[in-house]
Amino acid sequence: MHIHLDSTTPIYIQIAEWLQHEIIANRLQADEKVYSQYQLAELFNINPATAGKGLTILLEEQLLYKKRGLGMFVATDAKDRILSKRRNEILTKMAQEIVLEAQRLLVSDEELLALIQKTQEELK
Amino acid sequence: MTNATVLLLSLLITILLLTLVFFIVRKVSNKTKNFWTLKRLSIGITAYIAVGLFALLYLSLFANSSIQVLSKSELKKIEKNIEPIQKYDQEYNSSFLTDNYKKKTWEFDFLGGTLPVTINNGNEDSSLNIRHLYNDNIPAGKAIVSYYQFPAIIDGIDISDKIPLPNVYMSQNQLWIEALSRHEVNYHRIKASIGILDFNREEDFDDDYPSSIFYLSSNFIVIETPNGTDIEDSQGVIQYLR
Amino acid sequence: MNVIQCEKLSKKFGRLHALQDITCTINGEKIIGVIGRNGAGKSTLLTIIAGFLKPTNGYCQVFNENPFNNIQAAANSILIDDQLSFSDYLSLEEILKMGADFYPNWQNELAYRLLHYANIDLSVKHQQLSKGQMATFNLVYGLVSRCALTILDEPMNGMDEAIRTDFYRAILKEYIAFPRTILIASHHLQEMESILEEILLIDEGTVVTHASVDELKEQLIALSGPSDRMKSLLSETDVYAQQIVGGVSTAIVDASKLFITEEMLRTKGITKSALTASEICRYLTNHKGSDIDAIFD
Amino acid sequence: MQSLTNMSFKTIIKKQVKWKAKLYSSALSSLIILQVIFGALLFSSGSGSSGHGRGNLNVQFSIYSLDTFLFITVFWAFITAILFTTKAYRMDDLSIISSRTSSAIANILVLILYSFFAVLIMLASYYIQILGLMLMEKDTFIIDKLLISPSIFILCICSICLFSAIGLLFGYCFQGPSIIKIASIVLLAIGIISPIIFPESVNLQPFIQLPDLMLSGFYIIVSILCFTLCIWIADKSEVSRK
């Protein structure tokens, strides 16, 4: 993955998203040590403070936990929580955007549903 | 213009010249900067000082100048020795003419009872001290001309050897004495001190010990003729001694 | 302990006010970008911090001491800019030796490796280097000295694209290896934005904003939508720039003064988008009437 | 917070002096070149001469004293000290740990050190010249004083030091705050004009009459005064990079 500097999303959120992505993809297992802020900084060529901010977001959401002096580890239920959160938040938000765009383009509800179904079939 | 302004101006010109040379040197040394690394520079400087030290060593070991600078006491002694000369000369006393100071002798034959002498001073600065002395031991028709040189000291250096001898010769039964034309002697004196300071300080204490002893009568030409032989001195410069 | 503290700092050069009332505090080991346009006063501020110049008014403290002509401040800070010069008689290798002699935290081996990487021959002299090589060498000199306060004034001037990217990464890695306060003045915010923690934005001799990069990025947003709907919205907030093309107007506005939810915007058909840090800096330092188009009207 | 480096002022001065003494050694090499040029120009005439005319003999003494070399060295010291305060040298100080004060002190120490080396170079030039003279003019070579006396040696160092101090002060005055700049220009103008208007006011005679060591002491006091002023000005000066 590459950090997009000119993306509208702040870098620290991109970092948090990347870590979540790694957890979902099982590249970071439960109770496994995650990258330190310095490792992340070197990995993505970003300021360690920015990387730390990304980690803090996950820490606040309790997807990570801290062991004093050892670093941060993936919470046991992290993957499940991320998945459910994604379902709730991200999908809802994306649905909203699709619906708004459909309205703007004067696409009827039936047409929109059909499009979603069709896309689902294609990507299966 | 006062003396001080002249001095100031000449100083200014010297400084300007020095500045010019200094900056040319800097420009040139900037051009050769790549060659002159720090190491080479320090080697160069050390070598130069070492050469200077070697020069000093060599000089102090092997430099023996043929010309000696007379010390104060030697000067005093010489002064004492030659002081009476003037007095004797004024009293027509020939006893100061010792063989020590005799530099050269000429012997001439001539005809007749009188010897005409012509003296050519060359230029006016040089004056020859010519004396006449009767000598019983000389046969008739003979004349002996002797040149006496007494010590002549300038700035502690005895230059009596350098004083040019006159030209003495017989021609047409006449004795000719000719002073040589102006003669210049150059000396190179090494004084490892600061000249300006020495120069300005000197006058204070050197009055008692003059470093120069040079009397006008430091050299004599003595013409000896047998008794009864006269000298024809048309110019009237010859004195008689007893 | 504050690394740098400036209080109502001002500097005049004759009649020119280079700095006016600069007040800022920098603490902790951070990489801070000092951003501003040409002539904004970046270099003057940095030279005051480095102890080269004396403030006309106010004070500046570095490590709780007045840096002006202060040997302790000098021992703990280094200013790297394109005026950095070395004796004509030193090769680069000897310069490194000299640096090692002076700076106690000097990393000679790292210097060798970095210069080797940048293809710089150590046997040449400093003034024989090309502009880019000289900048690279100076930057390396500044980095390996590991001074607690490293001030880099336009460190990448003259370097080519590839080496710039490499050396931004080198700065970051050196910072991680040996955390210290690094001030980087530049007008190329875009390329170094990611390694910065904070940005000190200076314009016309005053501090416009001093914030973390993320905070800065949230200060301004771009809104675009139908002109008629935008008009009422824009009257409530500070508009930094506006452009109308065929009934759609795009405006840069102060985010903190925009009291409207995202849903509201969406229903009005107005889209919100973020700006890059460098764009934000540009808009924040845009002066009234400084629109280039205005000149040609 | 990482711990700050704590270096004593003395250590930094020591390091600065060490590097500056090395880096500025080209100044010494330009002194050598200057002396070689002037030594060659004045090889046959020496630094002074005195003539004595006696009769038809003209005695010319070419005196080889330290004057010429000392004059060049003193001039060199003045210019070198000014150059030390110029941009090229000042800028180099900024790339190492330094403050204006430490740089000024280091410059002063380097100048004092160089005064010593300059005297050595001066003496080296002198003895090399004398050696050449001895080899070429063996017959007219007079040694009055070959070895330099310790008091003259000290006096030479002190005079070089004095002129470098004046030069350095001169340089710093023009780098310093504008008030000092203006004040120094006014003082300099008075210093140049007054001896032209009142030449008799310049009377160095009493100074020259002082013994060498007292004169040296006087030079040292003036040098210290100049150096202190330099440090004081440097302490107040901003870095000028123009």
In terms of CA atoms, which chain B residue is nearest residue D26? B41
Instruction: Return phi, psi of residue C8, to 5°.
Output: 50, 40
Encoding tokens for residue C285? 């330092």
Instruction: Establish if B37 touches chain C: CB-CB under 8 angstroms.
Output: yes
User: Which helix H or strand E contains C246, and what residues bound it?
Assistant: none
The full DSSP string for B27-82 is HHHHHTTTT--HHHHHHHHHHHHHHHHHHHHHHHHH---SBPPPPHHHHHHHHHHH
Residue in chain D closest to C149 (alpha carbons) equals D4
Question: Pick from B126, B186, B190: which is nearest to D60 by CB?
Answer: B186
Calculate mean pLDDT across residues D66-94.
89
How far is residue B227's CA from residue B113's CA, in Å, rounded to a whole number?
10
In chain C, domain spans: 2-216, 220-296
Does residue C289 carry a pLDDT above 60?
no
Kind of pairing between the strands at D57-64 and C2-13: unpaired
- Give per-residue pLDDT as tens, C158-186: 898 889 989 999 999 999 999 999 999 98
Q: How confident is residue C97, by pLDDT bands cut at 50, 70 and 90? A: very high
Interchain contact, D94 vs C79, CB within 8 Å:
yes
- Minimal CA separation from B21 to chain C, in Å: 22
Q: Which of B83, B182, B96, B89 is nearest to B130 (CA)?
A: B89
pTM of the full structure: 0.85
Cα–Cα separations (whole angstroms), residue B103 to B97, B99, B223: 11, 8, 14
pLDDT tens-digit series, residues C60-72: 999 989 999 899 9
Q: Does C90 touch chain B (CB under 8 A)?
A: yes
- Per-residue pLDDT at D173: 87
Per-residue confidence (pLDDT) for residue D143, from 0 to 100: 84
Q: Which is higher by pLDDT, A77 or B124? A: A77
Q: Does D100 touch chain C (CB under 8 A)?
A: yes
- How many angstroms separate the CA atoms of B54 and B75, rounded? 34
Contact status, residue C41 vs residue C205, Cβ threshold 8 Å = yes
Most confident of B61-70, B212-221, C127-136, C213-222: C127-136
- Could you read off the pLDDT of C215-267 as tens digits, one per residue? 888 888 888 888 888 887 777 777 888 888 888 888 888 888 777 777 778 77
Closest CA to C215 of B145, B207, D209, A49: A49
Mean pLDDT, rounded, for D233-237: 87
Q: Residues in chain A whose beta carbon is closer than 8 A to a beta carbon of chain C?
A: 3, 5-6, 8-12, 38, 41-42, 44-50, 53, 96, 100, 104
Task: Determine whether D30 is exposed, middle or buried from the number of CB atoms within 10 Å of its CB (0-12, 13-18, 19+).
Answer: buried
Residues in chain D closer than 8 A to C97 (CB atoms):
none
Size of interface C-D (CB pairs under 8 A): 83
Give pLDDT, residue C233: 79
Q: What confidence tier does B208 reach under pLDDT thresholds 50, 70, 90?
A: low
Question: Considering chain B, what is the average pLDDT of its residues?
Answer: 78
Residue C79 has pLDDT above 90, yes or no: yes
Write down the pLDDT at residue B2: 62
* Cβ contact B134:B227 at 8 Å: yes
Is C123 an 8 Å CB contact of chain B?
A: no
| Partners of chain C (3+ Cβ pairs below 8 A) | A, B, D
| Region C220-296: CATH code | 3.30.70
Query: Which pLDDT score, from 0 to 100, does residue B203 have?
Result: 55
Burial of D107: CB neighbours in 10 Å, binned 0-12, 13-18, 19+: buried
Q: What is the pLDDT of residue D120?
A: 95
pLDDT single digits (tens) D159-185: 999 999 999 998 988 877 778 888 888
Q: Which residues of A touch C193 (CB under 8 A)?
A: 5
Dist. CA D139–CA D222, nearest whole Å? 44
The neighbouring-strand residues paired with C220 are C254
DSSP per-residue codes, chain A: ----TTSSS-HHHHHHHHHHHHHHTTSS-TTPBPPPHHHHHHHHT--HHHHHHHHHHHHHTTSEEEETTTEEEE-TTHHHHHHHHIIIIIIHHHHHHHHHHHHHTT--HHHHHHHHHHHHHHH-
Rounded to 5°, angle at Cα B81 from B77 and B87: 140
Q: Which residues in chain B are contacts of D195 at CB distance < 8 A?
A: 4, 8
Residue D197: predicted pLDDT: 78
- Mean pLDDT rounded to a whole number for chain D: 87
Nearest to C176 among A5, A38, A50 (CB): A38
Say whether domain C2-216 belongs to CATH 3.40.50.300: yes
Chains B and C make contact, 3+ CB pairs within 8 Å: yes
Q: What is the mean pLDDT of chain A?
A: 85
The answer on pLDDT for A8 being more than 70 is no
The pLDDT of residue C295: 66
Q: For the CA atoms of chain D, what is the radius of gyration?
A: 22
Lowest mean pLDDT among B177-181, B184-188, D63-67, D97-101: B177-181
Work out the average pLDDT over D41-46.
78
φ, ψ at B185 (rounded to 5°): -120, 135
Give residue A5's pLDDT band: very low, low, confident or very high (50, 70, 90): low
Give the pLDDT band (50/70/90) at residue A68.
confident
Interatomic CA distance for residues D24 and C215, integer angstroms = 51
Note the pLDDT of residue D158. Answer: 94
Q: Compute the distance between CA of residue D133 and CA of residue C194 in angstroms, rounded to an integer.
A: 75
Could you tell me where the beta strands, DSSP code E, fall in C145-213? 149-153, 181-186, 198-203, 206-212
- Do the Cβ atoms of B41 and C94 come within 8 Å? no
| CA dihedral over D109, D111, D114, D115, signed as positive or negative | negative
Would you call D7 an interface residue with chain C, using a CB distance cutoff of 8 Å? yes
Q: Do the chains contact at C172 and A41, CB–CB below 8 Å?
A: yes
pLDDT at C4: 93
Average pLDDT for D55-78? 87
Residue of A9, A46, A104 with shortest CB distance to C195: A46
Which chain D residues contact residue C84 at CB under 8 A?
A: 94-95
Domain boundaries, chain D: 9-236
Looking at beta carbons, which residues of chain A come within 8 Å of C168?
A: 45
Of D66, C76, D145, C197, which is closest to residue B60 (Cα–Cα)?
D145
Indicate if the pLDDT at residue D63 is higher than 70. Answer: yes
Q: How confident is the model at residue B126 (pLDDT cuts 50, 70, 90)?
A: low
Smallest CA–CA distance from B69 into chain D, residue: D144
* pLDDT for res C294: 63
- Contact between chains at A5 and C190 (C-beta distance less than 8 A): yes
Cβ of C89 and D241 within 8 Å?
no
> Would you state the pLDDT for residue B127?
66
**Chain C positions in Cβ-Cβ contact with residue A6 (cut-off 8 Å):** 276
Tell me whether residue B135 is exposed, middle or buried, using C-beta atoms within 10 angstroms of its C-beta: 0 to 12, 13 to 18, 19 or more: middle
Bigger pLDDT: B85 or D108?
Answer: D108
pLDDT averaged over every residue in chain C: 88
Contact C226/C269 with Cβ under 8 angstroms? yes
Given pLDDT bands bounded at 50, 70 and 90, which one contains residue C139? very high
